[in-house]
Amino acid sequence: MTTLQGPAQRLTVIVGESDTVGHRPLYTEIVHRAHTAGLIGASVFRGIEGFGASGQVHTTRLLDLAEDLPVTVVIVDTAQRIGAFLPQLEELVGEGLVLLEDVQVVHHAGQEKRA
């Protein structure tokens, strides 16, 4: 199992829940490409309320505005591996926000893969 400790980068991608690549949700495509690229991990978080460049507020509180809620994909890995993955994001993300931050990994552990 690969672990990460020390200097790293956090890649945060915020897109709309209804954004797609072909017939697949964009956030799913990002996660699967990150996995294929060998990045350490990716998590997806669904927002309950938000607005972006369009200025329209989307919320789960009103049924007619519950479409296209914000979805955030967070990936943490070394700067080198994140940098190698960025061109794929540039290809995928039309509308959205991509953030890159330097972080310090204090603890990273998981379960061993079972044979």
DSSP string covering 29-78: HHHHHHHHTT-S-EEEEE-SEE--TT---EESSSGGG-TT-EEEEEEEE-
pLDDT by residue for the chain (115 residues), tens only, comes to: 577 878 999 999 999 888 999 999 999 999 999 999 999 989 999 987 777 777 777 666 555 555 678 899 999 999 999 999 999 999 999 888 999 999 999 988 776 665 5
Q: What's the pLDDT at 108?
A: 80
**Which phi and psi (to 5°) does residue 31 adopt?**
-60, -45
The helix or strand, by DSSP H or E, that contains position 105, with its residue range, turns out to be: strand 97-105
Report helix, strand or coil for 83.
helix
**Residue 91 contacts by C-beta under 8 Å, 6 or more apart in sequence?**
none
What integer pLDDT is reported at residue 82 of this predicted model?
97
Task: Quote the pTM value.
Answer: 0.83
